[in-house]
Structure 1
């Protein structure tokens, strides 16, 4: 039981900071926060993403490119131009690393105001940091595993952030339903997105990219947005626009 709870905490904790910080803040800037709060969120993202930590800068720039070039050859991740999900993951990894290491020229519109903490990113993305987290995960499993099948969950803890990315960037462009017909393949994965905390409303998000609330229909409850509203109410962040479901 401890193993399942541990994996769920990592799943939803890592997913929240990917959605809240990397996606809605770094890429789309639907709310603002103080520099101190930003630094705290950098650290919390590292804590919950662990061995699969993603930098806000690399993610933010790449995601803006995804919106600008959706389903074209310039899209960093698209089922329309990658043979399979593993090919897409590999290409995404290479583009992400090229952005972070400044090996490719990036249009200024993709980098404007994207948060960056170079010293912390260098540490959190280092081999030392990733091996440290992997070692801690293995130790936790060694102490708390009660059944052999639980070991099958260990690789998930290593690759949590890429798994989250694949669910949205691969499956979210192949399966699901659409509320808006668009010139791309984005789809909503679930009527109620219990698995991805609102990220699964991908078609809605492509239609309204700057909207903090990814849900549109009454049943499309965006759990991350509800938490954002709570953080806004307590003054930790400042939402640029309070949205009401239509």
Structure 2
């Protein structure tokens, strides 16, 4: 039971950091926060994502490139450019590393208003940091696993971010339904987004990238939207982009 609780907590906390801090804040600037709170969420993201931590600034650049070049050869992660899900995720990793280490040129329009903490990111993205997390996860499983089958969850915990990315970037561009007709393959993957905290409403997101609410229809519940509203109410963040009022089907 402990392993399953740990796995669920890791899944949702890691995903929350991705969608709240790296995606909606860093990539799209849907809300603002003070430098102090920004540093807090840097650390919170590192703790919750562990060995699969991604630099918020690098994530933001890569995601902005995805929106600008969706389904083209310049898209850093698209099923249109890969023969299978594993090659797509490896290509994603390659682009991430190239941007992180300044190995490829990036146009200035993709680098505006990024959350930057270079010294922290240097450590958080280091091999020693990732190895420390892998050892820690493994020791946790050794201490609390009650069945050999529970160890099947360990690789997912170690590479949690890749699993989250694969669900959206592969499956939500191949399967699902649409609310908006777009010039790309983005679709809404789940009718009830219980596993992805709003992230699988991908068609909605490509229509309104900077909206704080990824859900558009009555059954599309985005729990992070309500967290954002709460954090705004208590003055932790300031919302910049409110949900647009317009028909969901167009």
Once residues 23 and 223 of structure 2 are traced to their aligned partners in structure 1, the CA distance between those partners, rounded to angstroms, is: 14
TM-score by length of 2: 0.96
Once residues 71 and 19 of structure 1 are traced to their aligned partners in structure 2, the CA distance between those partners, rounded to angstroms, is: 21
Change (3 A) 1:245 1:151: farther
TM-score by length of 1: 0.98
Q: Map 1:68-83 to 2 at 5 A.
A: 68-83=68-83
Once residues 78 and 243 of structure 1 are traced to their aligned partners in structure 2, the CA distance between those partners, rounded to angstroms, is: 26
Conserved? CA contact 1:177–1:188, under 8 Å: yes
Q: Map 1:99-114 to 2 at 5 A.
A: 99-114=99-114
State the shift of 1:242 in Å: 3.8
Conserved? CA contact 1:215–1:245, under 8 Å: no
Conserved? CA contact 1:179–1:204, under 8 Å: yes
Q: Deviations over 1:4-33 (max 9, x none)?
A: 000111100000000000000000000000
Match of 1:47 in 2: 47
Secondary structure of the structure 2 residue equivalent to 1:238 = strand
Q: Deviations over 1:112-167 (max 9, x none)?
A: 11111110001011111101111110111011011111010000111001110110
Conserved? CA contact 1:218–1:245, under 8 Å: no
Match of 1:210 in 2: 210
State the shift of 1:2 in Å: 0.2
Alignment gaps of 5+ in structure 1: none
Alignment size in residue pairs:
246
Once residues 19 and 242 of structure 1 are traced to their aligned partners in structure 2, the CA distance between those partners, rounded to angstroms, is: 16
Match of 1:190 in 2: 190
**Are 1:227 and 2:220 counterparts?**
no
State the shift of 1:243 in Å: 3.4
Match of 1:27 in 2: 27
Once residues 95 and 244 of structure 2 are traced to their aligned partners in structure 1, the CA distance between those partners, rounded to angstroms, is: 36
Alignment gaps of 5+ in structure 2: none
**Are 1:121 and 2:116 counterparts?**
no
Match of 1:11 in 2: 11
Once residues 29 and 244 of structure 2 are traced to their aligned partners in structure 1, the CA distance between those partners, rounded to angstroms, is: 19
Match of 2:200 in 1: 200
Secondary structure of the structure 2 residue equivalent to 1:80 = helix
Once residues 95 and 147 of structure 2 are traced to their aligned partners in structure 1, the CA distance between those partners, rounded to angstroms, is: 39
Match of 2:64 in 1: 64
Secondary structure of the structure 1 residue equivalent to 2:191 = coil
Once residues 198 and 226 of structure 2 are traced to their aligned partners in structure 1, the CA distance between those partners, rounded to angstroms, is: 10
Once residues 21 and 226 of structure 2 are traced to their aligned partners in structure 1, the CA distance between those partners, rounded to angstroms, is: 14
Conserved? CA contact 2:210–2:241, under 8 Å: no
State the shift of 1:245 in Å: 6.9
Task: List structure 1 segments (4+ residues) > 6 angstroms apart after TM superposition.
Answer: none
Once residues 96 and 202 of structure 2 are traced to their aligned partners in structure 1, the CA distance between those partners, rounded to angstroms, is: 21
